[in-house]
Structure 1
Amino acid sequence: MADPTPLTRPFRTDQVLRALDAVDSGSVTRAEWAVVRQVRSELTRQERGPAARVDVHAGIAASSHARRDPLRAAGVGHATFSGGAALSLYLGPVVFVSHPYFDTRLKYDPDWYGKKDRVIAGRFDAAYISAQFTHADLFFGTLDRNWGPSAVQGLLLSDSPYGPDHFALSIGTTGVKLEGFATQLNDLTDSTGAAVHRYMVQHRFWIRPPGRWTFGLWEGSVLSGVGRQLEPWFLNFASLGFLAQLNTGTNVNSFLGFDVQRQGKVTLFAQGLLDDIQVDKTSATDQKPASYGLTLGAQGRVPHSAAAWTLFYTRVTNLTYRNEDNFQTPIYFGLGTGRNFSDYDQTSLKLSFMPLPAVLVQPEITLLRQGEGDLHLPHPPVSAYPSTPAFLAGIVERTLRLAAGAHAAYGRWDLSADGGVHLISNAAHVSGASQTRWVGSIQLTWRTKKEGRIP
């Protein structure tokens, strides 16, 4: 199936349905065609005009860790239970979604910033109002987003944080779009005890000319200050925040980036982020190490089989995301808005295939190198620039992950599992220390839905 929105997640339902309608049943296996039919059935609305849909789910799980990402497994593992209900209202071009849920796993997740001292913990997985027109989308609320290749988290905007409420705008056609994203990050406190307000704005120009290529050029701005409000010249999605900073003399942390993808039998993709690179080398401040992020990868089908593969390399340097003003970092309640780690690189090879209808298996090999740099650390002083490594600072921890995941669906039931071994050298950044860690999780979920007209 062709990607209906390259370099952008999430999908809109109508975009997925159009892509599914274009799938030729003769070009896929019987198991894959069954999935196409099932997804089409789940997404197709049965009612016309104003309608409502309720999706209810409940599940039990067990895991060796509490963090969502098994590669960065952390937190004490537990047997957990969860449940929730999503209400969707379809009112012409307006869509209303509210999906509260509880999950006892959140109590042990080191990344979850919310309340943890009760029997259960909960949040909204999605809660938004969206107006969707032919050439414009307006959005306010919370929903996971990813700008960049879909196989890996975006460098500045991804599902890493737990759902910041935001305003989003998209104007254009299926070939050219102008996109904007604006949110308020959590307040921090300065040395006097004053609350420092923080905001983030991102703009992207997305173009998909006839043929196989898709491109994106984007910028991001992180603003902060005691009593500071989000200035309108940064919120203006038709202008450039970088230029507004220069012309207004205001202080922000600016980012520039690009996305690119070429669709084909082998799909190629890349993303780059430029945080701070010094061209001149004449003063002490010019000695600051380069800070950037990069992703390169490819996807395709395994010849003479129904399996698919994904290979990617991604890197984030030591000082990426950090700034001389320590309040101007793209971090939301302790989680990076793009990546939650810096000073690392990762190489991953993943396969996916369906041995049986409604059963997906995904083996994986990943090599992770993690330096001692951390985007949560304060920015180094100018005097420390010459001794600050640009990449892989200190003792480098190396993790080789050998794992496999599986997902099976039968009627209203979903069963998913993930397990593997992490072979770690220089564990915890101690030279010569080694560790073998087994990680795994399993989850059983029951789902049902009901759709009806709104009088």
Structure 2
Amino acid sequence: MRFYFLLVLFFVFSITVSAQSNKILTLNLRVYDHITHLQNRGLLLELDPTSLPYTTGEVYEALLKVEEETLSEVEAVWYNSVKKVVSPKSKDVEEKAVVINASIEGGFNFKNTNRLNLLRPEDKNLYFSPISAAKFYLEGGSFGGQFNLRQDETYFIDPDGVNPFGRFHTRAEDFYFGYQAEYLKIYFGRYRNHWGVYGQSSTILSSNPFPYDNINFRFGNNRLNIEGIFGELDNLSENGDFDPFTGGREPQINGTRRYLAAHKINWSPNNSLRLSLFRTALYSSNTSSISLKYLNPFNDLLFDRTNNPNNHFNNTFIGGSLWLNKGRFTMNGQVTLDDIHLTNNDERMTASVIGMMNFSELFYNTDLGIKLEVISYQSYNTSTQISGRYLYMGRGIATQFNDYVLASVHTEHFAYNLLKGLRIKPEITLLLQGEQEIDQPFYKIEPDGSLPPFVLTGTVEQTLRGALNLSFNPIPEFWLEGEFGINDVQNKNNIENNDVVELTGMLIAGFRLSLTKILNNESK
């Protein structure tokens, strides 16, 4: 019934269009797979691989600089797929024309655990989750805006997040209004952001949480720019929790207001090297609102956070990243410091570190990828104020978990000679998980008075997973993906000698239909 409701909306809005340069390519679009593969081969490097999402205009401008005749067979498939998504359908657009786009999306997710992360299954039940969305986009000149309703049953069964749905099991997501010019881009809306490589974790700001209302802006050019995100988060209720369904809505409404300010400076001496410094502050109080000192990206949040007037509690993070491409080799590293102590030896410093290396075309149409993640025991939870936890509706703003070490290696074979759009990806992952959780009470010392370890506290759960992922994406409008694997788990749930073997799998399918139209200025 909900899907038919969205279908009706689609046909109401379907007046049909063309090129939209200000349209945001939201992070649930699989076109990012192809963009990332091209970047790993030294193409589309005008786009910052560590600042997502892009707009269609940004991607189209990068495509124009690619020499098509030099592309390999698989690179040409990716190039044409991206081009189909972002390029103008018509070049005869008047200066005062309005561009309209409408689309619908449908599909499902079928898996044998309630968590999308098959490395960390929560239970062994079967779940079938239908997914649908309806979008309406309007653009004129340098302005663009999008309306979107999304229905996703995976939100209901997610064991980590708070259910965001209200009536009709439908949520407004990926909506925005924005302006884009040569040196300035500013958007207001509710959509996911990711300061890191697509498909990889981020230690500072990721696509893991549900989309939250935010102001997003960037000033500068491709060589040097500063960007910022100012987000409105969920309140901490008067009951001391983040659950709006306990005790009614009044404790939530009258609770502690929470906001996120994130600033990032990007410098690229050339297209193959990108360096970034970032800082975020999660501030809160019973009277907090939009704060100009946190909103301004040219204000230093690290030093100014303790200056008077100091009207908020805050939890501040700083860090940096490096992204490098040399031909068919790509690497990315990111470090975030969560709690810094220069003179105090009575508390453990906490930090988060991730690294990734990719070797493209190591064999015929085959890539090799390696990644490492080390998230310390108290990362994202170093404040005695519960309101300072780095969460939005129960989901981590950076990573979903802390106190873990993860290492994985995978190959990706693009079997386009067998079937266009077919990718075969075997992967082996080792996960070591300590006892600390991201939403547990903050503590500095062990019961015996000693400092906790930097990472992997208590009884360590160890998971070794071997998995095979098959993806079929012949055209941008259709995708099919399946993953099946075996988890060999020791000390399950951090219980000594609780060893199990788990078989987990997931099947995802989806389609997207889009209609477009250009309304030229009738007055001649």
Secondary structure at 1:72 match in 2: coil
Aligned: 1:293 with 2:352: yes
Q: Is the 8 A contact 1:200 1:330 kept in 2?
A: no
Aligned: 1:362 with 2:425: yes
Q: Which amino acid aligns with 1:138?
A: I
From 51, 69, 80, the equivalent of 1:37 is 80
What does 1:81-92 align with in structure 2 at a 5 Å threshold?
81-92=130-141
Comparing 161-170 with 124-133, which one deviates more in the overlay? Answer: 124-133
Aligned: 1:252 with 2:314: yes
The alpha carbon displacement at 1:167 in A equals: 0.7
From 486, 503, 510, the equivalent of 1:421 is 486
What does 1:307-386 align with in structure 2 at a 5 Å threshold?
307-322=366-381, 323-356=383-416, 357-380=420-443, 386=450
Corresponding residue of 1:397: 461
Corresponding residue of 2:365: 306
Secondary structure at 1:71 match in 2: coil
The alpha carbon displacement at 1:42 in A equals: 2.5
Partners in 2 of 1:304 and 1:442 — Cα distance?
Answer: 28
From 96, 99, 103, the equivalent of 1:55 is 103
Q: CA separation of 1:211/1:408 partners in 2, compared to 1, >3 Å: closer, same or farther?
A: closer
Corresponding residue of 1:104: 153
Q: Is the 8 A contact 2:235 2:255 kept in 1?
A: yes
The alpha carbon displacement at 1:90 in A equals: 1.7
The normalised TM-score by structure 2 is 0.81
Partners in 1 of 2:104 and 2:370 — Cα distance?
Answer: 35
Q: Is the 8 A contact 1:398 1:427 kept in 2?
A: yes
Corresponding residue of 1:132: 180
Partners in 2 of 1:101 and 1:141 — Cα distance?
Answer: 15
The alpha carbon displacement at 1:191 in A equals: 6.3
Q: CA separation of 1:73/1:23 partners in 2, compared to 1, >3 Å: closer, same or farther?
A: farther
Q: Which amino acid aligns with 1:214?
A: R
Partners in 2 of 1:225 and 1:443 — Cα distance?
Answer: 41
Aligned: 1:453 with 2:518: yes
The alpha carbon displacement at 1:44 in A equals: 1.4
The alpha carbon displacement at 1:31 in A equals: 3.7
Q: CA separation of 1:59/1:189 partners in 2, compared to 1, >3 Å: closer, same or farther?
A: closer
Partners in 2 of 1:173 and 1:19 — Cα distance?
Answer: 14
> 1:133-183: CA deviations, max 9, x gaps?
110100111111111333522112101110011111100001001111111
Q: CA separation of 1:219/1:340 partners in 2, compared to 1, >3 Å: closer, same or farther?
A: same
> 1:48-77: CA deviations, max 9, x gaps?
332111121222332112323222333643
Partners in 2 of 1:208 and 1:266 — Cα distance?
Answer: 18
The alpha carbon displacement at 1:381 in A equals: 5.7
Q: Is the 8 A contact 2:411 2:426 kept in 1?
A: yes
The alpha carbon displacement at 1:27 in A equals: 4.6
Two-structure CA RMSD over aligned residues (Å): 2.3
From 221, 243, 248, the equivalent of 2:281 is 221
The alpha carbon displacement at 1:404 in A equals: 2.0
Q: Structure 1 regions of 5+ residues with no counterpart?
A: none
Q: Is the 8 A contact 1:28 1:306 kept in 2?
A: no
Aligned: 1:179 with 2:238: no
Comparing 437-446 with 108-117, which one deviates more in the overlay? Answer: 108-117
Secondary structure at 1:153 match in 2: coil
Corresponding residue of 1:409: 473
Aligned: 1:440 with 2:488: no
> 1:387-407: CA deviations, max 9, x gaps?
433211111111112112222
Comparing 199-208 with 22-31, which one deviates more in the overlay? Answer: 22-31
Q: Is the 8 A contact 2:201 2:354 kept in 1?
A: no
From 330, 334, 341, the equivalent of 1:267 is 330
Secondary structure at 1:189 match in 2: coil
The alpha carbon displacement at 1:24 in A equals: 4.2
Q: CA separation of 1:61/1:239 partners in 2, compared to 1, >3 Å: closer, same or farther?
A: closer
Partners in 2 of 1:5 and 1:206 — Cα distance?
Answer: 9
Q: CA separation of 1:318/1:383 partners in 2, compared to 1, >3 Å: closer, same or farther?
A: closer
Partners in 2 of 1:440 and 1:227 — Cα distance?
Answer: 46
The alpha carbon displacement at 1:35 in A equals: 3.0
> 1:405-449: CA deviations, max 9, x gaps?
222134543222121111111111111221111111112223211
The alignment-based identity, stated in percent, is 19
The alpha carbon displacement at 1:26 in A equals: 5.1
The alpha carbon displacement at 1:382 in A equals: 6.5
Q: Is the 8 A contact 1:74 1:109 kept in 2?
A: no
Higher strand share: 1
Q: CA separation of 1:226/1:313 partners in 2, compared to 1, >3 Å: closer, same or farther?
A: same
Q: Is the 8 A contact 1:242 1:254 kept in 2?
A: yes
Secondary structure at 1:9 match in 2: coil
Q: Is the 8 A contact 2:422 2:474 kept in 1?
A: no
Q: CA separation of 1:21/1:365 partners in 2, compared to 1, >3 Å: closer, same or farther?
A: farther
The alpha carbon displacement at 1:307 in A equals: 1.5
Partners in 2 of 1:379 and 1:395 — Cα distance?
Answer: 18
Q: Which amino acid aligns with 2:432?
A: R
Q: Which amino acid aligns with 1:71?
A: L
Secondary structure at 2:442 match in 1: coil
Comparing 318-327 with 412-421, which one deviates more in the overlay? Answer: 412-421
From 121, 137, 143, the equivalent of 2:169 is 121
Aligned: 1:235 with 2:290: no
Secondary structure at 2:263 match in 1: strand
Partners in 2 of 1:136 and 1:146 — Cα distance?
Answer: 19
The alpha carbon displacement at 1:359 in A equals: 1.5
